[in-house]
Amino acid sequence: MRVTHASLHLVRLPLVHRFRTSSHAKDHLDHILVRLTDESGAAGWGEIASASDPFYSPETVDTCWLVAERYLLPAVVGARWEDPAEVAGLWAKVRGHQFAKAGVDIAAWTLWSLSGGVSLATALGGVRDSVVAGVSLGIEPTIDDLLAQVGKHVDAGYPRVKLKIAPGWDVEPVRAARSSFPDLQLHVDANGAYGESEEEVRALRALDEYGLSMIEQPFAPRNLLAHAALQRDIETPVCLDESIDTLDDLRTAVVLGALKVLNIKVSRLGGLGPAVAAHDLAAEHDIPVWCGGMHEFGVGRAANVALSSLPGFTLPSDVSASDKYYERDVVTPPITASAGVVEVPTGPGLGHVVDEAFVQASEVRTVELRA
Ligand code: OSB
Ligand code: MG
């Protein structure tokens, strides 16, 4: 296979509901869509789902654009490869920049599966024909607003709800959600906002009595020791997100006992190939995994659905339907969920068609490269 033409498309979509985490709030998102074409003219799409600001990861939309334009696309355009797993080798000298790499990697997998006439899920080793979706809810102005959001998504059929927490917004919202929804699969995500002060660790320990399915990333990304210490103290499984950018990070965290559950994000790990490898490694250590999200547009979301069809994804993934986030998505049909279940497409590639006219109408910036 040889990519003869590549382009980047910075696309802005408004969010239907403002999303606040421990670090920031967003009303719209700018993601970079990646389009690769081969000699036959077939187009494979990928998505760089980086945030605009370096608050979740050190990457931003601008760093992703720079690295993709200057290093990743020039490495891919014109090169010959047989299997998308080889594509990461083309940019092996580039350190870090996982989100930028992931977008190009997804496009290569999509192009390859499309050309082979198989679904992306099949190409990745998927075994399920549907996946269970959870929702991730941001910090709301009041507890009543939060309960209204939880109720709305429970009514829509989602079986698992994750709540963003931060010091000062933790035990009270969790107590309220648990008392209103006693049987709901509930978990919390702190995005690394907690320190190791007695007061902050006490609040995390206090969450142990609410039957949460996990506490996601309470401490700073590189602080594996704090996660291991908390896991020794509480029954609730500790889940790592921001701490795990590479398979080496995962190996270290396992040895330290810093996690019982892994959030696999295609973006954070640098692509679908590394995401599958993380899934395999977690399975060897009996660590259940789920697929995390970055509010992906339809391209990245379809890739997440395909990945979630692998056997180790036994917990609900953040692959909610497009309409939780966007009025109109960049793919047709949009991703839909019925009673919290998303069907895994069986058609070639992503199984969704990119609405190129809508992409063009919504794009803020574009660049192309030819062999
Ligand atoms: O930590 O999982 C996270 C969104 C942006 C940045 C980080 C995170 C999230 C989410 C949203 O939780 C998950 C989704 O619905 O895509
Ligand atoms: Mg998270």
pLDDT of 46 strictly over 90: yes
Output the residue whose Cα is nearest ligand 1's atom 4: 294
Query: Under a CB-based contact definition with an 8 Å cutoff, are residues 51 and 23 in contact?
Result: no
59 Cβ inside 6 Å of ligand 1: no
Query: Under a CB-based contact definition with an 8 Å cutoff, are residues 137 and 149 in contact?
Result: yes
Which among 101, 162, 260, 265 is annotated as catalytic?
A: 265
pLDDT of 24 strictly over 90: no
Per-residue pLDDT of 69-87, as tens digits, reads: 999 999 999 999 999 999 9
Name the percent of the chain lying above pLDDT 70.
100
Which among 101, 162, 164, 324 is annotated as catalytic?
A: 164
How are beta strands 238-240 and 135-137 bridged, if at all? unpaired
The per-residue pLDDT for 23 is 83
User: What is the position in ligand 1's atom list of the atom closest to the CA of 241?
Assistant: 1
What sign does the dihedral 328-332-335-336 (CA atoms) show? positive
Question: Going by C-beta distance under 8 Å and a sequence separation of 6 or more, which residues neighbour residue 202?
Answer: none
189 Cβ inside 6 Å of ligand 1: yes
Per-residue pLDDT of 91-115, as tens digits, reads: 999 999 999 999 999 999 999 999 9
| Nearest ligand to the C-alpha atom of residue 262 | 2
Query: Under a CB-based contact definition with an 8 Å cutoff, are residues 11 and 30 in contact?
Result: yes
The per-residue pLDDT for 160 is 98
The per-residue pLDDT for 22 is 81
* Spacing, Cα 269 to ligand 1 middle (Å): 15
Per-residue pLDDT of 219-236, as tens digits, reads: 999 999 999 999 999 999
* Spacing, Cα 77 to ligand 1 middle (Å): 31
Band of residue 249 on the pLDDT scale cut at 50, 70, 90: very high
* 141: exposed, middle or buried (Cβ count in 10 Å: 0-12, 13-18, 19+): exposed
The per-residue pLDDT for 72 is 98
Predicted TM-score (pTM) above 0.95:
yes
Band of residue 21 on the pLDDT scale cut at 50, 70, 90: confident
Catalytic residue at 265? yes
Per-residue pLDDT of 110-132, as tens digits, reads: 999 999 999 999 999 999 999 99
1-22 as b/e, with b when 16 or more CB fall inside 10 Å?
bebebbbbbbbebebeeebbbb
Name the token pair of 69. 């334009």
The per-residue pLDDT for 199 is 97
The per-residue pLDDT for 162 is 98
The per-residue pLDDT for 7 is 98
Output the residue whose Cα is nearest ligand 1's atom 5: 294
Per-residue pLDDT of 307-356, as tens digits, reads: 999 999 999 999 999 999 999 999 999 999 999 999 999 999 999 999 99
The per-residue pLDDT for 28 is 95
Q: Please give the mean pLDDT across all residues of the chain.
A: 97
Closest CA to 197 of 168, 163, 173, 175: 168
- Per-residue pLDDT, averaged over 174-180, amounts to 98
* Spacing, Cα 241 to ligand 2 middle (Å): 5
- Per-residue pLDDT, averaged over 42-57, amounts to 97
Catalytic residue at 260? no
335 Cβ inside 6 Å of ligand 1: no
Best probe residue, ligand 1, of 27, 136, 299, 322 (max atoms within 8 Å of C-beta): 136
